[in-house]
Amino acid sequence: MTIGDPPSLVRATGRAGGGTSTRGTPHGGSGARSRRRSRARRSERLAPYVLVAPAVLIIVLLRLWPLVLGVNFSFTGDGARNGTPVGFDNYVTLFQDPLFRGALRNVGLLVLLLPVAVAVPGLLATFIYLRVPGHRVFRSVYFFPAVLSPVIVGAIFNLLLAFDGPVNGVLATAGLGPVDWLGDPAVAMVTVVGVHIWATFGMALVVFLAGFATLNASLLDAARMDGASVRQMIWHIIIPGLSRTIQFVFVTTMIGMLTSMFGLLYVMTSGGPGGSTYLPEYYVWIQQGQMNRPALASAASTVLFLVMLVVGLLQMSLLRRAGRED
């Protein structure tokens, strides 16, 4: 292009040059944006794993790894054979011990009483949700036992359930004979379990109330308008709507019964009378703390873990099947 060229040619050349210099800019910007979007997507995919990683690490270090060490330790000996592999000798000793067999029978009793332990907080939470008169007061009253130490609860009920205590005094005024609540082998375990249910149902109550927050209230309103009774609303609306909450409470309550009753047993019965109130966790403490047999205690702990695993899986399977049938 020379000085004498016409203006139209200059404008055309300028447009052509400008187009050449600006066409690459949008494509470069689009590539950068796509790379940023790709990095953002990767960050979004990784974010859940990063957030969960600390909790998983804590569980692995403080739960799973000690569990593996305990299982391995259960195959070694005690006393003179400390640290020596003994195979399944500890497990054979366990199942030959009448105290441990009695502890397993008591686990069966806990399984039979489990529906009661779940039904009590479930019904009370239902009444609170349906706003019975005084429901706000009941909510705090029902939760109060959950904040008490098991030792305090055991001491209180030792006084109430003594042979000459207030409970037998009330029975005497009603013309009923006194009951040896903590000294009769046929009654003592049921008594301790009843006290445990009273002391711990407040936490399950809170879980049920949280589950009610997800329930479709319009279904209950429609049932009321159709004249449904409370029993019908519980059976046909509340139980199906809270099926997952009920599964969770069943499993956690069973685990609590198997692993959180030591304080009550120690204070109320000390495993008696005659070992009738032994549970596996109390047996583990006896072997570890008093008999100085840590390997045998590890074997008992392993059996307790397997029992909890099997019972929990069976409960979830049965409850899922019942939910599908509904």
Any domain includes 216: yes
pLDDT at 14 over 70: no
pLDDT at 266 over 90: yes
Of the two residues 63 and 9, the one the predictor is more confident about is 63
Mean per-residue pLDDT, 263-281:
92
- The domain containing residue 204 runs over which residues? 93-325
pLDDT at 19 over 50: no
End-to-end CA distance of the chain: 88
What pLDDT, in 10s, does the model give residues 22-58?
A: 444 455 567 777 878 888 788 888 888 888 999 999 9
**Reported pTM:** 0.79
Handedness of CA 135, 136, 142, 143 (dihedral sign): positive
Mean per-residue pLDDT, 265-287:
93
Number of domains, the chain:
1
H helix intervals, 60-165: 65-73, 89-96, 98-129, 135-143, 150-160
**Which amino acid belongs to residue 131?**
R
Any domain includes 259: yes
Any domain includes 215: yes
Any domain includes 31: no
Any domain includes 86: no
| DSSP line for 71-93 | HHHTTBB-GGGBT-B-TTHHHHH
Q: What is the CATH number of the domain that holds 267?
A: 1.10.3720.10
**Taking all residues of the chain, what is their mean pLDDT, rounded to a whole number?**
85
Token digits of residue 118: 């779940």
pLDDT at 8 over 60: no
pLDDT at 20 over 80: no
Residue 325: per-residue pLDDT: 59
Mean per-residue pLDDT, 104-126:
92
**Nearest-angstrom CA–CA distance, 7 and 143:** 91
Any domain includes 279: yes
- Cα dist from 106 to 185, 190, 196, 276, whole Å: 12, 9, 14, 8
**Nearest-angstrom CA–CA distance, 285 and 308:** 18
Any domain includes 245: yes
Per the CB < 8 A criterion, the answer to whether 315 and 250 are in contact is: yes
What pLDDT, in 10s, does the model give residues 214-243?
A: 888 888 888 888 888 878 888 888 888 888
**Nearest-angstrom CA–CA distance, 192 and 209:** 26
Any domain includes 276: yes
Tell me the backbone φ, ψ of residue 78, rounded to 5 degrees. -110, 165
Residue 9: per-residue pLDDT: 45
